[in-house]
Amino acid sequence: MKNFKYILMVLVGGAMYGTMSSFVKLSYSWGYNAAELAFFQALLAAVLLGLCSWLINKQKKKPKFKSVAALLITGGVIGLTNYLYYQSVSFISASLAIVILMQFTWFCLLIEWALFKKKPSGVEVLTVFCIIAGTVMAGDLLHTGATAFSWKGFLFALASSLTYSIYIVANSRAGKNVNWLPKSTLIMTGSAMAIFIVNAHTIIITVHFSYQFAFIAVFLAVAGTAIPTALFSAAIPKVGAGISSILMTIELPVAIICAGLILKEHINNVQIAGILVMLVAISVMNYYKALKT
């Protein structure tokens, strides 16, 4: 298959994203917090991508101010997404957090409908209901006791899903003429700036400077941001947005598997069935959208 290597790149990038919630939740047990983890992940990724851009970027023409501003704002949105998502896993399980995050698929439909008058089709509405039903099953929400469920964590995860959908819509329109390396650098710079603005006091007062924290921050920056960003930037234009969206649903099962292996979170048969329902629904939705474009 001509595009096999690009398909593999998208799959690897999505899988790497899927592992992050478990490693972040594990970091909480060592005394770290969401603000410092999200900030230094974005900051180090921006530095790494900036160095790569300076060394190998072939686009000599500097992006226009309008593009720079749009990309910084877009980065700010994904920065808030990471922070909110990391906050959510301090209150709820990593497996439930990723299930809620996947609601970005239908949030995107609502945003495009509200802002760009793209009314969802009957197939898309049906898949939204399937995603919601799968979410209830995958999150085991009908059997989770009141003491085991955190509305605060749920709302953090839902907010991260909403901001993630805003990021996807914005990223598809911002900086189209900017090379992927400087584009990624600007997005990560905006991400670090937004996280710092929101959490400046926490970051300055409570940040932990140690070899252990440095290792965690570098790992999150490289494995959770820099490499996936590079893989997606190189591969998605070759594979196409529709098929890439289907491939990126690998993030959900990978996150669930990691939560079970790393955090020892129990996953029952109803949750597994819910995950499968969500994956099929998301894949059908994106395949249908790809056929329309």
- Confidence class for position 115, pLDDT limits 50, 70, 90: confident
Chain-wide mean pLDDT for the chain?
Answer: 82
| DSSP helix/strand/coil, 231 | helix
pLDDT of residue 45: 92
- Confidence class for position 47, pLDDT limits 50, 70, 90: very high
CB 84 within 8 A of CB 100: no
Q: Identity (one letter) of the amino acid at 131? A: I
Report the first-to-last Cα separation within the chain, whole angstroms. 22
Indicate if the pLDDT at residue 171 is higher than 90: no
- pLDDT 10s digits, 278-289: 888 877 776 776
pLDDT of residue 112: 77
Domain ranges of the chain: 4-292
Higher pLDDT, 82 or 53: 82
Least confident of 4-18, 108-122, 249-263: 108-122
pLDDT of residue 147: 45
**Within 10 Å of residue 224's Cβ, how many Cβ atoms?**
23
Least confident of 1-10, 83-92, 96-105, 180-189: 1-10
What number is the average pLDDT over the span 109-114? 81
Instruction: Give the whole-angstrom CA distance, residue 135 versus residue 194.
Output: 30
pLDDT of residue 44: 94
Indicate if the pLDDT at residue 26 is higher than 50: yes
Longest Cα–Cα distance of the chain, Å, equals 58
Altogether, the residues listed in the chain come to a count of 293
Instruction: Give the whole-angstrom CA distance, residue 224 versus residue 93.
Output: 19
pLDDT of residue 57: 63
pLDDT of residue 56: 77
- pLDDT 10s digits, 198-228: 999 888 887 777 888 889 999 999 988 888 8
Higher pLDDT, 234 or 85: 85
Task: Choose the most confident range, by mean pLDDT, from 12-16, 80-84, 110-114, 211-215.
Answer: 80-84
Instruction: Give the whole-angstrom CA distance, residue 257 versus residue 252.
Output: 9
Instruction: Give the whole-angstrom CA distance, residue 25 versus residue 89.
Output: 6
